[in-house]
């Protein structure tokens, strides 16, 4: 049973929480490069792991991430001027560089010792794969690089990255991303013939993945790895074959979806904690072999359209019931909600900001969910014993892929035969 105390440890991410301390040991994606597109552009408000920060790109293109409040009188630096290689507070003119040093104090004597003594909290920042990353942990243990995730290392034309706000704790997003059993139901489409059985109607879920439609109760296998774990969802394909949908969970919050076609685009998500009740959903589509076509970008299906106000809140959200159309639900789809991304978001947000896991009733289809919770809680317990997570120091562990493959029934996933399809991207 997952207790209320377990739920608190899993979901709370502030600076003084077990999970918050674990997350601070990883490089965290938090902005798209387009949000700080040019030198001296407008600063951006950031909340990450419950901390209120300000991000900016200086005159030389260097990135900074500082405490949002000036150390002088605590004015909000969002209103500051980004000029001449520093961010200047407009209250008394204190100016800060990307490393948190005070460059100028116009209202103080020219030789004031405060210039040497005062700093503002700053965090290291990197830019990779069209995304801006931050490290909020102990500098003595800072990894040299973010994880070697394939989407961040392919050429720009091979990659499409979007970001959206999700109004839940990060764990609800991760648990949706590693849950292969809901795909056959939540994302299914209905045939027009009302006389067909439910299982038969699922055949229209995807003409390329009929096995997901015909076998809605897969058997799950989870195998621990250095970077997280790999999940095998096994469905019957023929009398002699299984269809394996092999997906990845990469610590601390990355999920990777099996591609629909061999050598086709791969998709994945990052569920980055803003605070206890909100997270950023970064969605990635990439093709290791060739540039993405227009159709590969999957606009408004998994990558959701967001409001144009800079909030990155989806256009389909709880205020408009995610576009729910009861007529479409009766005639065309299980959910009546347009798009896989909106369907997932609607269900995950419907649980509340932090789901009451103590009152769940988990089944055999929730094997990966249980593995996720145990792995995260184990990381937190290790940290409290002084054992640092090993993953941040080994970015090369993250060079893996997901896969969808039909294999003979004599293949044993647990012994690694199926995993040869996904290792070593």
Query: How do residues 33-74 score in pLDDT, each as one tens digit?
Result: 999 999 999 999 999 999 999 999 999 999 999 999 999 999
Q: Is 263 exposed, middle or buried (0-12, 13-18, 19+ CB in 10 A)?
A: exposed
Mean pLDDT over 84-94 rounds to 97
pLDDT in the model for residue 114: 94
DSSP-assigned letter for residue 353: S
| Full DSSP string of 46-107 | EEETTEEEEEEE-TTS-EEEEESB-TTT--BGGGSEEETTEEE-TTT--EE-TTSBEEE-TT
Answer CATH for 150-421 from 3.40.50.300, 3.90.380.10, 1.10.3720.10, 3.40.190.10: 3.90.380.10
How far is Cα 227 from Cα 266, in angstroms, rounded to an integer?
19
Contacts of 279 (CB under 8 A, 6+ apart): 166, 168, 169, 170, 173, 271, 272, 273
Mean pLDDT over 190-200 rounds to 46
H or E element that contains 250? strand 241-250
How far is Cα 404 from Cα 262, in angstroms, rounded to an integer?
8
How far is Cα 127 from Cα 37, in angstroms, rounded to an integer?
12
How far is Cα 287 from Cα 297, in angstroms, rounded to an integer?
10
How does residue 29 score in pLDDT terms, banded at 50, 70 and 90?
A: very high
Using DSSP's 3-state secondary structure scheme, residue 418 falls into helix
In this predicted structure, the answer to whether residue 2 has a pLDDT above a threshold of 50 is: yes
Q: Which of 214, 228, 160, 162 is nearest to 183 (CA)?
A: 214
Reported as a single tens digit per residue, the pLDDT across 279-303 is 999 999 999 999 999 888 776 789 9
Reported as a single tens digit per residue, the pLDDT across 394-421 is 999 999 999 887 888 887 765 554 454 4
In this prediction the pTM is 0.91
Name the phi and psi angles at 77, rounded to 5. Answer: -75, -5
CATH superfamily of 27-141: Rieske [2Fe-2S] iron-sulphur domain (2.102.10.10)
pLDDT in the model for residue 386: 94
On whether the CB atoms of residues 98 and 62 are closer than 8 A, the answer is yes
Q: Where are the domains of the chain?
A: 27-141, 150-421
Residue that wins the pLDDT comparison between 246 and 422: 246
């Amino acid at each position: 049973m997952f207790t209320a105390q377990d739920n608190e440890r899993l979901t709370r991410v502030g600076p003084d929480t077990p999970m918050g301390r674990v997350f601070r040991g990883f490089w965290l994606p938090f902005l798209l490069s387009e949000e700080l597109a040019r030198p001296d552009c407008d600063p951006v408000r950031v909340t990450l792991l419950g901390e209120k920060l300000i991000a900016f790109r200086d005159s030389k293109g260097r990135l900074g991430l500082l405490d949002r409040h000036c150390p002088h009188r605590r004015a909000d630096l969002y209103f500051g001027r980004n000029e001449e290689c520093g961010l200047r507070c407009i209250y008394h003119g204190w100016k800060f560089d990307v490393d948190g040093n005070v460059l100028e104090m116009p209202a103080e004597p020219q030789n004031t010792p405060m210039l040497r003594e005062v700093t503002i909290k700053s965090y290291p920042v990197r830019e990779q794969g069209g995304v801006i990353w931050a490290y909020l942990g102990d500098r003595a243990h800072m990894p040299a690089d973010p994880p070697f995730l394939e989407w961040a290392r392919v050429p720009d034309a091979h990659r499409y990255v979007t970001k959206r706000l999700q109004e839940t704790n990060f764990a609800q997003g991760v648990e949706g991303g590693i849950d292969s059993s809901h795909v056959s139901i939540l994302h299914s489409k209905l045939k027009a013939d009302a006389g067909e059985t439910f299982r038969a109607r699922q055949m229209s879920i995807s003409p390329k993945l009929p096995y997901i439609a015909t076998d809605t109760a897969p058997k799950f296998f989870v195998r621990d790895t250095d970077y997280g774990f790999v999940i095998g969802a096994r469905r019957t394909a023929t009398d002699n074959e299984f269809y394996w949908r092999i997906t990845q969970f990469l610590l601390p919050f990355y999920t990777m979806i099996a591609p629909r076609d061999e050598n086709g685009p791969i998709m994945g998500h990052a569920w980055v904690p803003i605070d206890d009740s909100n997270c950023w959903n970064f969605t990635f589509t990439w093709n290791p072999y060739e540039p993405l076509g227009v159709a590969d970008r999957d606009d408004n299906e998994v990558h959701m359209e967001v409001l144009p106000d800079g909030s990155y809140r989806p256009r389909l959200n709880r205020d408009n019931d995610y576009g729910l159309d009861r007529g479409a639900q009766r005639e065309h789809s299980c959910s009546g909600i347009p798009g896989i991304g909106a369907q997932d978001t609607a269900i995950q947000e419907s649980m509340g900001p932090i789901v009451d896991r103590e009152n769940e009733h988990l089944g055999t289809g929730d094997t990966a969910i249980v593995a996720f919770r145990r792995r995260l809680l184990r990381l937190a317990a290790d940290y409290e014993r002084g054992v640092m997570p090993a993953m941040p120091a080994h970015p090369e562990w993250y060079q893996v892929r997901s896969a969808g493959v039909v294999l003979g029934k004599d293949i044993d996933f647990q012994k690694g035969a199926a995993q040869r399809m996904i290792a070593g991207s």
